[in-house]
Amino acid sequence: MPKHGKKYRNAAAAIDRSRLYPLEEAVEEVLRAKFANFDESVDIAVRLGVDPRHADQMVRSSVLLPHGTGKEVKVLVFAKGEKESEALKAGADYAGSDELIARIKDGWLEFDKTVATPDMMGQVGKIGRILGPRNLMPNAKLGTVTFDIERVVGEIKKGKVDFKVDKAGVVHAPMGKTSFSADKLADNIIAFIDKIIQLKPSSSKGVYLKSIAISSTMGPGIKVDPLQVRSLIKAA
């Protein structure tokens, strides 16, 4: 097992690992436990009662967090003509077609998200082996293959988060930064869990939200009470 430093051990010592914390208290504990000298991300891990080996139990989508992620996201749009101009006006960092594809083939990858108009996907597919393994490929299921460029670029810039359940049945996603207030982090988490609940596969049996844990980049994980989060969502 990896050895943790003194600051981590001190932070972890104040956490009751056997307890399921109410969301508000869990967020406060994450902020109290931070010790890094940079603005850490606050991340969530949700274990679901699904079997990702079955296509009908794959949980994958995106959600626009109310307060964003606190991260500046560089967006590249594959488009031509008016849609290229629309992308730049909407705030895309890069927009174009053949010239961008050529740069990517040469090893350029200075962007975080991609969007493409449907007519560009034939050309974008030629660099799928480069973009795919890095989760940078435009995807119709995530809404990033579209002619509605202005809306999608705007949402990504505001803090739209893509997520996908992994082989272990866990969904990971960033929920903000430790510089956020506790209220803003809680709002983001509630929006995220609400979306997860909406996506429950009909073939999923038993407990769906098995566990929720949040942590800062360097800090210890804190278990959150799934039932209490559900009650917050219902009350919203």
| CA 67, 73, 76, 81 torsion-angle sign | positive
What is the residue extent of each domain of the chain?
Answer: 17-69+160-235, 75-157
Q: Which residues contact 15 (CB under 8 A, 6 or more apart)?
A: 29, 33, 220, 222
Which residue has better confidence, 111 or 141? 111
**b/e per residue 183-218 (b: at least 16 CB within 10 A):** ebbbbbbbbbbbbbeebebeebeeebbeebbbbbeb
- Asked whether 73 and 169 are in contact (CB, 8 A), the reply is no
Q: How far is the C-alpha of 133 from the C-alpha of 115, rounded, in Å?
A: 16
Question: Which CATH architecture describes the domain 75-157?
Answer: 3-Layer(aba) Sandwich (3.40)
pLDDT tier, 2 (very low <50, low <70, confident <90, very high otherwise): low
Mean pLDDT lowest for which of 8-22, 38-52, 101-115, 139-153? 8-22
Total number of residues shown for the chain:
236
Mean pLDDT of the chain: 95
Longest pairwise C-alpha distance within the chain: 58
Residue matched to tokens 């969007």:
115
At the topology level, CATH places domain 17-69+160-235 in: Ribulose 1,5 Bisphosphate Carboxylase/Oxygenase (3.30.190)
Fold equal for 17-69+160-235 and 75-157: no
pLDDT number for residue 8: 87
What pLDDT digit, counting tens, does each position of 63-96 carry?
A: 999 999 999 999 999 999 999 999 999 999 999 9
What share of the chain in percent tops pLDDT 90? 89
